[in-house]
Amino acid sequence: MKSQHQQLPSSRGDDHPFGDVLLFSDALSRVVAGGGGAKAIATLLARELRAAVLVEDAEWRHLALAGTGLRAVPPSARSLLAALDRDPDERVITVPLPGDVPPAVATALTAGETNLGWLTAFPQHVMGDVDRAAMHLAANALAIELTRDQGGGKNRRRTFWERLVNRTFDDPIEARDEAAASGITLAPQYLAVAIEAEGLEESTATAKTGDLRRIALETIRANGEIVVLERGGGFVFLCPAQLEVDAANLRTAAMLVPRAATKAQFGAKVVGGVGRVADAIDAARTLEEARSAMFIARRIFGGSRVMPYDDLGIYPLLVRGNATSEELRAFSDRVLAPLRAYDEKHQTELIRTLRLYFEVGQNVKTAAAELSVHRHTVFYRLRQIAEISRFNLDSPHDQLTLRTAIAIDALTTRT
């Protein structure tokens, strides 16, 4: 304000005890109604307080600066506030400054319990109650502006991601242009992780779901922004995965989420799935794979676990149904490819050994007789098969996948 000793003219009367504040409130309302934004509010406040005014967000990023010709202003008020021993619930804070200068005054920009940032004034005089009241009004106006800006931006971004995973875009260039218009830098490829909690009590479900979101994000790290989409009672995390090492790290991290939840005393079973890497335009596929993997993990394997789609063998095709002959053949080729490549390179008979092993009811002695080799040779080959294919021959789930792959291979091999 001009000064607490010099009242502004007021239509309400020069003797009104809050004349200055009311006039400032009117001016502030006009700025907000006109869509002036943080810079305009800071400029108005700087003029009325005869102060330099700094506006920062919750991450201490610069949003607006005004009145810098009146006083020197540090690049951020963060270090000044961090050095104070203050009450965390205190709204307006006096900040002593070095030298013979009036103290700064800072106030939090809040929306409910959410901290949106900070408003800090560096006045030429010691601020009194009327000045602080004006600053309080400006802080409320800034909080409204920040909430509106963030809400609008979030809504635009959320709408884009929902359109992308609903296969609205046919052209990758169109998708990238739309992403850029929504303030999104689209990664070349994404990998989806689906996470849900089971057995939550209705009274605490909302809070626990928020806890699960936090735990998952702290566990799943990515080289880029992770997109969070709500699905059912859980979440799908779309993670940038440009390199195979990124995808491998994400799969490993996702599988650790249940353990992290247990360590955090989450108190409920956590189940999830991981899709395969997909181009950005095909993000719907990795999302669907992640949710399918989560469904299979819950129904077939049970327990608290997150399972990658690629580790589920034939189950994804069984769940989806109506698989084409080309998809079945591709599945068989993918499962048997490592064994076939080894046989071709080393002139071995791993696939033939596996087929006979299953045909004779997993009887090593009979398989050895059919192959005209010693039974120790069959044992050795079975160990090789397990190591090369990464399937456990003692697991009924892995056996089902291998048996199905061999059957499809036999049915579709041209003679």
CB-neighbour burial class of residue 36 (10 A; exposed 0-12, middle 13-18, buried 19+): middle
Does residue 4 form part of some domain?
no
Residue 4 tokens, joined: 């607490």
Residue 50 tokens, joined: 């005869």
Lowest average pLDDT, out of 41-45, 155-159, 177-181, 269-273, goes to 155-159
Last residue of a domain, one of 89, 121, 147: 147
Does residue 74 form part of some domain?
yes
Tell me: do 232 and 296 sit in the same domain: yes
Element (H, E) at 42: helix 37-49
CATH number at residue 350: 1.10.10.2840
Tell me: do 230 and 131 sit in the same domain: no
Number of domains into which the chain is organized = 3
Lowest average pLDDT, out of 67-71, 121-125, 157-161, 319-323, goes to 67-71
Does residue 5 form part of some domain?
no
Q: What's at 332, amino acid-wise?
A: S
Res. 1: pLDDT tops 50: no
What sign results for the dihedral spanned by CA atoms 252, 291, 167, 329?
Answer: positive
Tell me: do 139 and 229 sit in the same domain: no
> 164 with 280: CB under 8 angstroms?
yes
**Residues 30-60: tens digit of each pLDDT:** 877 766 678 889 888 988 888 999 998 887 8
Tell me: do 231 and 305 sit in the same domain: yes
- In the chain, % of residues over pLDDT 70: 90
Can you give the pTM of this predicted structure? Answer: 0.60
pLDDT band, very low/low/confident/very high, at 200 (cuts 50, 70, 90): confident
Does residue 250 form part of some domain?
yes
CB-neighbour burial class of residue 142 (10 A; exposed 0-12, middle 13-18, buried 19+): buried
CATH number at residue 283: 3.30.70.270
Highest averaged pLDDT of the listed ranges 15-24, 86-95, 379-388: 379-388
Last residue of a domain, one of 147, 166, 195: 147
**Residues 363-383: tens digit of each pLDDT:** 999 999 999 999 999 999 999
CATH number at residue 75: 3.30.450.40
Highest averaged pLDDT of the listed ranges 65-69, 123-127, 241-245, 255-259: 255-259
User: Is the model more confident about 251 or about 40?
Assistant: 251
Q: Which domain holds residue 100?
A: 19-147
Mean pLDDT, all residues of the chain: 86
Last residue of a domain, one of 266, 282, 312: 312
CB neighbours of residue 146 within 10 Å: 22
Q: What is the DSSP string of 196-209?
A: EEES--TTTHHHHH
What sign results for the dihedral spanned by CA atoms 116, 122, 128, 130?
Answer: negative
- In the chain, % of residues over pLDDT 90: 47
Would you state the pLDDT for residue 399? 93
Whole-angstrom distance, CA of residue 298 vs CA of residue 270? 10
Does residue 10 form part of some domain?
no
CB-neighbour burial class of residue 270 (10 A; exposed 0-12, middle 13-18, buried 19+): buried
Tell me: do 143 and 25 sit in the same domain: yes
> 356 with 371: CB under 8 angstroms?
yes
Does residue 165 form part of some domain?
no
